[in-house]
A = this chain, B = another copy of it.
């Protein structure tokens, strides 16, 4: 949804070279909103607009532009001019951006960025995607514990411009070991006693994470504790960065997005739907689609095995999709419940037995009810088979639903035990396994129950 409210004016100002007007536009609103109003502009036009204002405001607005537009600006603009933008960006955002830009452009750009920033970029970009290190920022307000409240407020007032948050101030010793935390709230409530030393009231029991920790677990920690930020330390307790609440929100959204894609057997998209090329889209879906197709081929082989049974008792065929979908849906439900419960730490591997028993109990209730319904439908729909023969349907439904609940509960627990992310196990994957099992169960029950088929089972 593109907001076109200011587009004509912006285009006019660009055409007229009205820098004063553009500068006013850039500072009049929240930078996020300014970026929103620029959505209809091309990358080149957007850059021309924000060039009119000072570097700080440029950085602020640039941050809120769409990711694809940011990349295009960097790739097509003047490197010398853009290097100052990059130098002033928050360290985590800028590494994220440079990872998306073609390497040739980065190579031209990097030497133009000031020494200190350049080293920071190289250090941060070493952290693999998905770790705490890859989302942390290195712009941190740090103070010494010997400082007083008054001195501390002066100092962070001076540093404030360049920092992502000044609301948590970390206390470090001379060797940058993390010693404690003082919140801006604590400082402000002590304004009346400006000579109080930070050591007297700083919090010493800090929840920290390591740069190699999984970003999802870090986000869960920040969310559980309602933190504004969490410090990232190395194994010697040196403070190497912080992860702020907005990064955590980004991680949570990204992970939710990924989980939704995995559950539907699509590899997560990097860009937005319309920005993703058809080739990439087909590829991200194709991989899983073919894997599932290969697995589903087994159903064809299984059914061919029972060719003579199907030949003799055609009505068995009518219920194949019904039985498979009942098992598959139950399994998908169980898998989702267990995957979510594992993700939320509501259950652990130690609860496996209890979880499986619960799922089997639920499966018994649901399968029993579906069995009764299925039997009634069978009696209504078919004249050929006897009431006894039709018992194949309820018995199979019950067993298949139980089987589905069992697989749905067991597979995520198994994946977790093997150290594989259970969220990667898509629901279609569970479903196709249950499909194959469902056919075997159905045909086995049928061979036992239906007189005409009993000699086939030999």
Contacts and interface: CB of A to CB of B under 8 A. Distances in A.
A132 interface: no
Contacts of A446: none
Contacts of A225: 30, 32-33, 64
Contacts of A339: 260
Contacts of A310: 314, 317
B330 A278 contact: no
A91 B145 CA distance: 35
Contact of A205 (B33, B156, B246, B365): B33
Interface in A235-269: 245-246, 248-250, 252-253, 255-257, 259-261, 263-266, 269
A289 B321 contact: no
Interface in A333-358: 333, 335-341, 344-348, 350-351, 354-355, 358
Contact of A366 (B222, B273, B286, B303): B286
Contact of A30 (B154, B203, B317): B203
A381 B333 contact: no
Interface stretch (A9-17, A294-302, A449-457): A294-302
Interface residues of A, number: 123
A290 B370 contact: yes
Interface in A1-41: 1, 28-30, 32-33
A441 interface: no
A206 B311 CA distance: 72
A217 interface: no
Contact of A1 (B30, B249, B282, B348): B348
> Looking at chain A's contact residues, is the secondary structure mostly helix, strand, loop, or mixed?
helix
B282 A362 contact: yes
B265 A332 contact: yes
Interface string A368-402: 01100110010001100000000000000000000
A281 B362 contact: yes
A174 interface: no
Contacts of A366: 282, 285-286, 289
B326 A296 contact: yes
A97 interface: no
Interface stretch (A74-82, A103-111, A113-121, A188-196): A188-196
Nearest to A322: B296
Contacts of A167: 167, 184-185, 228
Interface string A196-233: 00000001011100000000000000111110100000
A333 B303 contact: no
A171 to B, nearest CB: 15
A415 interface: no
A42 interface: no
Given A303-B321, A311-B314, A370 B161 contact: no
B358 A286 contact: no
Contacts of A275: 346
Given A153-B188, A321-B320, A329 B33 contact: no
B282 A332 contact: no
10 contacts: A157-B189, A157-B191, A249-B252, A264-B336, A272-B346, A273-B347, A278-B365, A288-B329, A296-B325, A300-B377
